[in-house]
Chains A and B, each alone.
Chain A
Amino acid sequence: MLDNQQGLVFIDQYASRVTCYSSQYGHANGVSYTANNLVGPPSRFPAYGDFPETYVPRTYGPWWKESSIIFKGKNEVDQTGEDFIDVQFKKPVYPYCVNVYETYNSGCVRRLWAGDGQGNWKLFHENSVKQSLKQSQIFSPEPHHLQFLTSLIRIEIDSSFADYYPEVDAILLVGTETYPAPEESLKLSVLGLYAKVVGLGLHRLVPGFNTLESIQRLCFTDKLSQGVSVCHLSKLPEEILRVILALLDLRSLCSLACASSLFNKICKDSVLFTAVNLKPYWYCVNLPTLKWLGARSQCLQYLDLSWCGSYGKFSSSDFSWFIKQHGKRLRILRLENCSFLNNEALYSISTSCPYLQELNLRGCRDLESTAFWHLGKLHMMERLILDSTQIELPTLLVSLQSMASLSHLSLGGCQNLSLLGSLDEISRWLNRHRPGIVSLDFWRSGHLSNHGMEALVGLERLRELDIGWCGLPPNGNWISQLASRCRSLEKLFLTAARVVKDADLIAIAQYCPNLKQLDVLGNSYITSEGCSRVLDKCRKLRLLDVSYCCQIEAVHVANWRRIHPYVSIKRIFVSEED
């Protein structure tokens, strides 16, 4: 505890519990690279490196967004991070300072929020610097008092520009039990403002600059703008206006609607609301938002409600009401990390959205496994994303039966599929009934035996395959066979497969000219020879991860980087420390 001269008592505390997170690199039952590692004081800071004792999100960089299969939604001016993590502290405080201990590829904290646990959030800090540092750091925004009693902090992590996986070790919250008296906080903020002005040298910019006068001018600008109220925009024909307005993001559209009655009318046009992405506004989406959207949603085809509705901000019946009323034309529905989802909500989706082609339920960990039975009614489904959910094998197979045009199936980190033989069964089923599948993700979802691999190599249309962290059969040249039969592969993740050999890489080089991303992390048999072959032959390659491949030396990588400047080659190697 620290005391300052104002008589305020500052309490500093580390996270005591992780309540919610979007994704994690580690296994749900493990202790490496998992969200739970954020609890307590830092374990590795100030060391810098790839440490299993920290929290690591599942993705980094632009690689996961470059997939050619996933439909890209409407562009929002998006300050949202790629991932979020909510941590609970023991004692509620008025936050003054939040420290985030980053131990690898630092600089990924995008925003810090304070929550009340009932779905209300206040922004504590927003970081606009997008730069990844090669050293550990304590990310600590300038201290200020937030008049919001909280014991819940959400960090948004944006790793899209990071060179490799970012890692966070711990989170410290400093705050006071009482909010400082108004005059004190005013004094603090005026002093802070003054320091900022002087620090930036602003007071010297304009000779004879009168601070008071300029502030007054700022406050009463309406006098200045009188008489110049000519708006050329409103003179344009409505059709052209619509084309222009269609380019606006949601926030601008709402602002414009307030400008005049004309704009208000045009901005209500449902044609402008065919694709709505509410994820960037997760902190304020509630029932009135849904009602507001409902009034404009006659043409709604794409809806992203990811991250919304947590901590009871709106309920599953609110959502079900919306979907029943306005889901008829929906083709794409994204509901990542939506904790309000339940059996009723999935039932509403399955009965009200007959044309649904993509459903994304990634990270809905609390959704009970029985709810997935409703998926079977979605006959038009093409892309089904169920990562980190509780779906079970029988439910999945029955549901898939009705999805005749399924092209993308993502099942990464599904705990209930890790039972022996589940992945084999899915592979065999796909081989028999959906041989045209284009993209498949089994990341960390269990084991594949020889039977499973045999079925998998028969899926010859595959363009993207992620079997990272799946136990692969130790014998048999399955990867070579995969390469020789699935020749249109663009993305192949064999992370920690342990069985990849040079012969497999040579086969990949020979048969997969379109390969763009290859991850062979943790395969100790591969040597520089196989990798060189891949780099030489796969001219479209952009990502190659050879981390923890003990036969690949730094010299090789340096050489490759020189010869193949367009390939991002990752080689991380942290040996057990002494």
Chain B
Amino acid sequence: MHSVYGRLLSRSIVNGLYNCSSSSSSSGRTAVANATNENVSTKSIPKLVSAVAGFPKSFKSGKVRKGQIGDDAWLVKNVDSADVLAVADGVGGWRDYGVDPSDFSLSLLRSIERITSISNPCNFRNPVDLLSAAFRELLHSKRPITGSSTACILILEHESNNLFTVNIGDSGFLVVRKGQVVHKSEEQQHYFNTPFQLALPPPGHHGSALSDSPQSASQSQFAVQDGDVILLATDGVFDNVPQPVLVAELSKLGGVKDQLCVQQTANSIALMARNLSFDGRYMSPFAQRARDYGIRAVGGKPDDITVLLATVAI
């Protein structure tokens, strides 16, 4: 058990490292090319120093694929004109119907990856279209894909230094500047613990399953500054770690451009969420919210935990 645990942790760290190094090196290259080609534009290109960490709720399911943590999926992608960060949380209830919940979330993010690498840059300013296109792509898969998922996508467009976001469901993001939350996602729930979700139910379950259109996602636009810290995470983090604690952790990273530091913080947030989620006596944000709905609950909420952490370097 312990060895698997350790391997998973180191694997996610390696993944994180790999992603960051590739993203920073390629944006570095474009910056150099820009500087040599045209001296007219002195504007430097922003980049994200990013890291990924996380834990699956259970280590029992054997499959470990890149970009997947339990039923969660994540994506860190750098293309010429933008950095793309995304998480998707596959809805676990489908397991009872013999459907692998990670299939939907992972396929959704892989579609996003492919679309961002081919499509023209103007799409980035309208991330709802990106989400719709990715969702449509799942319908065009030869292999039938069923299940449902929440999704949250952040796109840092290099030209405008703007962060374009789209969110459907209860994953979310925080942007912290000088110890203050300057921008965050809105949670979208139908009712308690039932988030908005994109869904492709198996035929025959269409009436019974919740299914929201990509158009119902909330989108926003936000101008980032050098040193901003961005946390993108699934509900496994936000349901277990109180926001003030997260903000305190993120504040330490303000202006840090060292990938290793970012990775360490990502790891510690993930580990904190993991430990709290299995603490039966802890009054988690999730339990508090349950009480608001009149449900007597205590303890953390065991769930898949995915942390994408990035600092903005301009």
Contact = CB atoms under 8 A, between A and B. Distances in A.
B204 A523 contact: no
Given A31-B118, A39-B118, A578-B66, A26 B140 contact: yes
A50 B142 CA distance: 10
A76 to B, nearest CB: 35
Contact of A522 (B66, B107, B114, B144): B144
Contacts of A574: 143
A287 to B, nearest CB: 37
A31 B111 CA distance: 8
A174 B223 CA distance: 43
A474 B137 contact: no
Contact of B114 (A53, A550, A575): A53
Contacts of A39: 118
A425 B287 CA distance: 52
A29 B133 contact: yes
Given A523-B144, A576-B103, A31 B115 contact: yes
B140 A27 contact: yes
B144 A524 contact: yes
B136 interface: yes
A36 interface: yes
Contact of A548 (B66, B133, B144): B144
Contacts of A521: 142
Given A29-B133, A30-B136, A30-B137, A548 B203 contact: no
B203 A474 contact: yes
Contacts of B136: 27, 29-30
A481 interface: no
A523 B66 CA distance: 27
Given A39-B118, A499-B203, A578-B63, 9 more contacts: A27-B136, A31-B119, A31-B137, A36-B118, A475-B204, A522-B141, A548-B143, A573-B143, A574-B143
B206 A522 contact: no
A522 B143 contact: yes
Contacts of B144: 496, 498, 522-524, 548, 550
B114 A578 contact: no
A576 B137 CA distance: 15
B156 interface: no
B20 interface: no
Nearest to B110: A576
A52 interface: yes
Contacts of B142: 50, 52, 496, 521-522, 547-548
A37 B119 CA distance: 10
Interface of A: 26-27, 29-32, 36-37, 39, 50, 52-53, 469, 471, 474-475, 496, 498-499, 521-525, 547-548, 550, 573-576, 578
Interface in B103-148: 103, 106-107, 110-111, 114-115, 118-119, 133, 136-137, 139-144
A32 B141 contact: yes
B37 to A, nearest CB: 15
Contacts of B115: 31
A575 B143 contact: yes
Contacts of B140: 26-27, 30, 32, 469
B65 interface: yes
Contacts of A471: 139
Contacts of A525: 203
Across chains A and B, which 3 residue pairs bring their CB atoms closest together, nearest first? Answer: A474-B203, A474-B206, A499-B203
12 contacts: A30-B133, A30-B136, A32-B137, A37-B118, A39-B118, A471-B139, A474-B206, A521-B142, A524-B144, A548-B144, A576-B103, A578-B65
Contacts of A26: 140
A30 B114 CA distance: 10
A380 B63 CA distance: 60
A31 B114 contact: yes
A433 to B, nearest CB: 31
Contacts of B106: 576
Contacts of B64: 578
Nearest to B146: A524
A29 B143 CA distance: 19
A52 B141 contact: yes
Contacts of B143: 522, 548, 550, 573-576
A326 B154 CA distance: 61
B3 to A, nearest CB: 20
A524 B98 CA distance: 12
Contacts of B110: 576
Contacts of A575: 143
Contacts of A27: 136, 140
A521 B144 CA distance: 9
A573 B144 CA distance: 11
Contacts of B203: 474-475, 498-499, 525
Interface in B190-208: 202-204, 206
A522 B203 CA distance: 13
Contacts of A37: 118
A39 B117 CA distance: 11
A335 B204 CA distance: 43
Nearest to A444: B140
Interface in B48-92: 63-66
Nearest to B66: A578
B150 to A, nearest CB: 20
Nearest to B115: A31
A26 B106 CA distance: 21
A506 to B, nearest CB: 18
B118 to A, nearest CB: 6
B124 to A, nearest CB: 15
Nearest to B116: A31
A374 B224 CA distance: 55
Nearest to A577: B65
Contacts of B118: 31, 36-37, 39
A232 B142 CA distance: 61
